[in-house]
Amino acid sequence: MGAQISTVVERRKTLSIEEKALRDLEESSGTGFPGGDYHPSDRKNWMSVLDPGKIQVNKIVWPGTHDSATNKIGIPLITRPFAQCQSLSIYQQVVRGTRVVDIRVQEDRRVCHGILTTYSVDVVIDDIKKFLSET
């Protein structure tokens, strides 16, 4: 158990160093894509200001998340640090502006990341329905 905890601590240190390196790189390079300086005050409804007559779908930078429904996957402090790619629910992600979600589902309708599973895909669908009903 001690070795597992040590591995988790080392992994978190490594992630912290990588996150700092990415922040430093972002600060030094500025925005690298068209519209990268656009920061809407209402991220939940950021798409409402897009004029479909003036912008093509393929010209929009679509914010997305990888392994989007892994916020409750695995066992905390044991497998979760290695399988959890997102800490927010799907609903929380889309409210914050995410519009592309990466959901991996097994045949039993459970969301997965590799061999680890979490809640039913119905939770994801309910989160999306809730968001759509509000916007």
Domain ranges in the chain are 31-134
Known catalytic residue: 66? yes
Q: CATH number for 31-134: choose from 3.20.20.190, 3.30.590.10, 2.30.42.10, 3.20.20.70.
A: 3.20.20.190
Instruction: Say what the pLDDT of residue 127 is.
Output: 97
**Positions in the chain whose pLDDT score sits under 50:** none
Known catalytic residue: 39? no
Active-site annotation holder among 68, 113, 117, 118 = 113
* Spatial distance between the Cα atoms of 87 and 98, rounded to a whole number of angstroms: 14
Residue 114 tokens read as 């590799």
Identify whether the C-beta of residue 3 lies closer than 8 Å to the C-beta of residue 9.
no
Residue 91 tokens read as 């609903």
Q: DSSP letter string over 6-68?
A: HHHHHHHHHHHHHHHHHHHHHHHH---STTTT---S-GGGGGGG--TTT--GGGS---EESST
The DSSP bridge pattern shows strands 100-101 and 64-65 to be parallel
* Spatial distance between the Cα atoms of 41 and 29, rounded to a whole number of angstroms: 23
Active-site annotation holder among 13, 23, 59, 66 = 66
Q: How far is CA 54 from the centre of its chain?
A: 28
Instruction: Say what the pLDDT of residue 33 is.
Output: 61
Instruction: Say what the pLDDT of residue 71 is.
Output: 94
Instruction: Say what the pLDDT of residue 123 is.
Output: 97
**pTM, whole model, 2 decimals?**
0.70
Instruction: Say what the pLDDT of residue 29 is.
Output: 63
